[in-house]
Amino acid sequence: MTEQTDHWETPQKILVILAHPDDPEFFCGATLARWARAGHHIIYQLLTCGDKGFNDSTPADMTPDELCAIRHQEQQEAASVIGAKAVHFLDRLDGCLIPDLDLRREIVRVIRREKPDVLVTCDPQNLFAAYGINHPDHRAAGQVVLDAVFPAAGNKEYFPELLAEGYAPHTPREVWVALTNQPNVILDVTETWPVKLQAILKHKTQIADEAKLIERMKSRRTENSIDENPRYEEKFRVVKYG
């Protein structure tokens, strides 16, 4: 297990591809804040707008389209707290992501358009999460992104129509997979954990009880730390291509 492998010598372009608004903050927000403060250029690409993200605190008359618009704004505000430079949405239907060739082509287009040094996504093999069963969109997003990274994004024979659009092959140098049970990298993110929490709190439509959320996030300190001096970590499976 490696503790620190993100000390890049030059500013990196980092592309985060996940399923829903709030996924970047919940999955790896402290790491993203750490990278932004180190001078790296972070871009979000979200596959849905979370239009089914209703809970007990959602107004009864709110429509999915209205929720989608609010979550766009919430994500922009949260990304600003993190320090991300841009947020893009594919606006696929929440709960309906399928890692098929059509979506893979869209992800390959995004990778070739943005040409990131580092790509961040989530682990498609993680069936269970802290809250129970991992959302199927999370697993689908991780699967389609990894399938797009290799072998498609860097190979001109995959989706030749993208070449005609001007998108030349590109493979990220590193892929960081969050929300994994198979980590090989652990980052100490104690310093930016408060930033992560501040960003999460921007997703007001997803928070039924703010006090309980804050308490839950504070409780995620490492087992070898104490409440008075907590230590926080975020874990990843990192794959390097160069």
DSSP letter, residue 40: -
Could you tell me the pLDDT band of residue 3, with boundaries at 50, 70 and 90? low
pTM: 0.96
Share of the chain above pLDDT 90, in %: 92
CA–CA separation, 54 and 40 (whole Å): 34
Per-residue model confidence as pLDDT tens digits over 39-59: 999 999 999 999 999 987 888
Assign residue 192 a region (left: φ > 0; alpha: ψ between -120 and 50; beta: otherwise). Answer: alpha
Neighbours of 175 (CB within 10 A): 21
CA neighbor of 118 nearest in space, from 226, 218, 7, 232: 7
Per-residue model confidence as pLDDT tens digits over 97-117: 999 999 999 999 999 999 999
Could you tell me the pLDDT band of residue 5, with boundaries at 50, 70 and 90? confident
Question: What is residue 13's three-state secondary structure?
Answer: strand
Query: What is the dotted CATH code of the domain comprising 13-240?
Result: 3.40.50.10320
Question: What is residue 157's three-state secondary structure?
Answer: coil
Q: Average of pLDDT values for 178-189? A: 97
